[in-house]
Amino acid sequence: MTKVFNNNILQGKVAFVTGGGTGITGGVARAFAEHGAKLAITSRKQENLDAMKAAVEGFGGECFTVAADVRDYEAVERAIAATVEHFGKIDIVVNGAAGNFLCQAEELSANGFGTVVDIDTKGTFNVSRAAFEELKRSRGQIINISATLHYLATPMQIHVSAAKAGVDAITRNLSVEWGRHGIRVNGIAPGPIEDTEGMKRLLMPELREKMMRKIPVGRFGRIEDIENAALFLASDAATYVNGVTLVVDGGSWLLGTSLT
Ligand code: HXC
């Protein structure tokens, strides 16, 4: 990652990151640790967490891991409590755990739709709700990882579009309800990010060319673009930023860039 922020901008902070083992949110988690935060990461799969813990400890950071499914409120409560027991507090929550697959609406089962809504939307609420008392104590903040799929319409993504629209609603509502407790709530909506497992799987070469022509800045996004947006929001440079979902997509949603 090309570092544009000072190494210590998150010194003394504790960040709790869901889906923090892999992908975009894994990058955000690692970047937070590289900038001084103590890291707690959670994911359904312990093996995803072990690799990130080793990476963070490799550069001298601190990383606490706790396996939990964000759909399970009691498991989330236990993960939050274990983090507070370990680090003493939580300053930043990143809701990054997400589910995704391509499926036409007429082939999607009710359970398939509900599964993604449960992970993305209900999971975001569950973690935010369970962390509320701690964030109130620390006058902390929440960053919700969203998408741009639902700004227009994205075929084969009805479940994710509905789920992320719900995430954006949660961002706005909580920013208003919890602002008075000193808790800022913002989101990040990544556009097409090429160095993710999901995008590698979804992007056939001909689709890649088609999409590239529709990205105004002329390149796909990289995970570090999202890391830098998250560092800005988490830092003291953004103490008056609340209720915003920051689009980081090179301007592509304005041209209707879609996966299909
Ligand atoms: C159709 C599918 C499906 C598929 C699962 N289902 N995969 N339907 N096509 N490819 C259906 C199942 O048939 C089932 O419904 C229901 O979904 C639940 O499936 P399970 O496998 O039992 O669920 P679970 O083990 O909980 O896994 C959920 C999952 C998850 C969503 C499939 O494994 C997952 O998301 N994996 C990928 C994680 C990922 O890529 N995360 C990054 C997200 S990126 P029935 O009716 O059969 O019971 C992102 C950014 C968005 O979100 C923007 C992108 C551009």
- CA 194/CA 179 separation, integer angstroms: 34
Average pLDDT over the chain reads: 95
Which distant-in-sequence residues (6+ apart) come within 8 Å of 208 by Cβ? none
Sheet holding 92-95, edge to edge: 63-67, 38-43, 14-18, 92-95, 141-145, 184-190, 245-248
Which CATH number is 239's domain given?
Answer: 3.40.50.720
Alpha carbon 190 to its chain centroid, in Å, reads 9
For ligand 1, atom 5: residue with the closest CA: 112
| DSSP letter, residue 118 | I
- CA 110/CA 175 separation, integer angstroms: 31
pTM of the complete model: 0.96
Q: Evaluate whether residue 8 is within a structural domain.
A: no
Cβ of 111 below 6 Å from ligand 1: yes
Cβ of 23 below 6 Å from ligand 1: yes
Q: Evaluate whether residue 9 is within a structural domain.
A: no
Averaged pLDDT, 76-101: 97
Q: Which atom of ligand 1 is nearest to the CA of 190?
A: 53
Q: Other CB atoms closer than 10 Å to residue 101's CB: what's the count? A: 15
Residue range of the domain that includes 42:
14-247
| pLDDT given for residue 207 in this prediction | 79
* pLDDT per position as a tens digit, 112-154: 999 999 999 999 999 999 999 999 999 999 999 999 999 999 9
103 CA → ligand 1 middle, Å: 10
Beta bridge partners of 219: none
Region of residue 248 (phi > 0: left; psi between -120 and 50: alpha; otherwise: beta) = beta
Q: Evaluate whether residue 258 is within a structural domain.
A: no
* pLDDT per position as a tens digit, 19-44: 989 999 999 999 999 999 999 999 99
- CA 198/CA 24 separation, integer angstroms: 10
For ligand 1, atom 38: residue with the closest CA: 99
Q: Evaluate whether residue 94 is within a structural domain.
A: yes
- Rounded to a whole number of angstroms, the distance between the first and last alpha carbons of the chain is 30
* pLDDT per position as a tens digit, 91-116: 999 999 999 999 999 999 999 999 99
Beta bridge partners of 16: 40, 93
Q: Other CB atoms closer than 10 Å to residue 218's CB: what's the count? A: 8
- CA 25/CA 103 separation, integer angstroms: 23
233 CA → ligand 1 middle, Å: 29
Q: Evaluate whether residue 252 is within a structural domain.
A: no
Q: Evaluate whether residue 98 is within a structural domain.
A: yes
Q: Which atom of ligand 1 is nearest to the CA of 192?
A: 55
Above pLDDT 90, what percent of the chain? 88
22 CA → ligand 1 middle, Å: 16
Bridge pairing between strands 92-95 and 14-18? parallel
| pLDDT given for residue 240 in this prediction | 98
Show the tokens assigned to 218: 């002329």
Q: Evaluate whether residue 220 is within a structural domain.
A: yes
Q: Residue 260: which pLDDT band, with cuts at 50, 70 and 90?
A: very low
Q: Determine the 3-state secondary structure of 104 from DSSP.
A: coil
Q: Looking at the 3D structure of the chain, how many domains does it have? A: 1
* pLDDT per position as a tens digit, 208-239: 888 888 899 999 999 999 999 999 999 999 99
64 CA → ligand 1 middle, Å: 27
| pLDDT given for residue 256 in this prediction | 84
Q: Evaluate whether residue 200 is within a structural domain.
A: yes
101 CA → ligand 1 middle, Å: 5
b/e 171-185 (16+ beta carbons within 10 angstroms → b): bbebbeebeeeebbb
